[in-house]
A and B are shown apart, each in its own frame.
Chain A
């Protein structure tokens, strides 16, 4: 996985972009733990998704593409990359 940490517009380093080893598929979203708000917009020209994990991060991307973006909460910013990578590894796990 390729990880890019970007400065956000508030001067922090809470925007983490990850290029996954393969394109995101819908079932991958089911494996994101703690998600309380899940939006998948199939009506858009490209199906955009956004998951929100309160207290941790929001995760967005496009179904069928390997690039995802985490915006990590201020309260856990010190663990931003760790949280993002853990979620990505869970997403990429094969179904049992």
Chain B
């Protein structure tokens, strides 16, 4: 059974995602936040621009750190979602294969307000290509800084696509492992991990942001 993207987005919209008296939104076994995208963008791009003023080595460090934030987000958020009861309730009957899980988590991402993701191609255990019509990162960059003179800027998305592949094809999120620091290190810091790269970015003039994850 193929993943019905529209049905998933619609179903997730019915889940009770409201805050409690402690100011937290417990859902998917996580704590969600309703975050101002511009706040995160401002911090990210202030760091990126400061690095550019410092030189190539600083730029390399900054880009790597911002993508690493995407890895950590993907591991905890996407990983947490994929072992949750909400995932089972909404997507369980649609998931026959490991590839279905990739399409499933992309459907969930599309319900979270990060932009409209589309899987352009998936080669199991080798490569994932995603394009995004409206990443909050490129949208925010264009609004605050205009067209990018520092290249692609969708760092969280780049870490995210790598995270999806690492959770599913480098690790085995389908077996519901504990999302521990040791497991994170195994998936993202060991040999053979998938790495995300943004090859085209709206902020730098492309029509869509294009991302690839491969080993």
Contacts and interface: CB of A to CB of B under 8 A. Distances in A.
A62 B22 contact: no
A2 B15 CA distance: 27
Contact of B90 (A10, A37, A45, A60): A45
A44 B89 contact: yes
B89 A73 contact: no
A78 interface: no
B85 A69 contact: yes
Given A55-B21, A75-B22, A69 B88 contact: no
A86 interface: no
Contacts of B94: 45
B26 A44 contact: no
Interface residues of B, number: 27
A1 interface: no
B15 A41 contact: yes
A18 B21 CA distance: 24
A46 B94 CA distance: 11
A19 interface: no
Interface in B1-56: 11, 14-16, 20-22, 24, 26, 29-31
Given A43-B11, A46-B89, A48-B89, A7 B180 contact: yes
Contacts of B31: 8-10
Nearest to A67: B85
Contact of A46 (B15, B30, B92): B92
B86 A9 contact: no
A65 to B, nearest CB: 8
Contacts of A39: 16
Given A9-B31, A37-B16, A71-B26, A48 B21 contact: no
A39 to B, nearest CB: 5
Nearest to A47: B89
28 contacts: A6-B29, A8-B29, A9-B76, A9-B80, A10-B31, A15-B29, A39-B16, A44-B89, A45-B11, A45-B89, A45-B90, A45-B91, A45-B93, A46-B88, A46-B92, A46-B93, A48-B85, A50-B15, A50-B16, A54-B20, A54-B21, A62-B88, A65-B88, A67-B85, A69-B29, A73-B20, A73-B21, A73-B22
Given A41-B15, A45-B90, A48-B90, 15 more contacts: A8-B29, A8-B31, A9-B80, A37-B16, A39-B16, A44-B89, A45-B92, A45-B93, A46-B89, A60-B86, A62-B89, A67-B85, A73-B20, A74-B24, A75-B22
Closest 6 A-B residue pairs measured CB to CB?
A: A48-B89, A71-B26, A46-B89, A45-B93, A39-B16, A44-B89
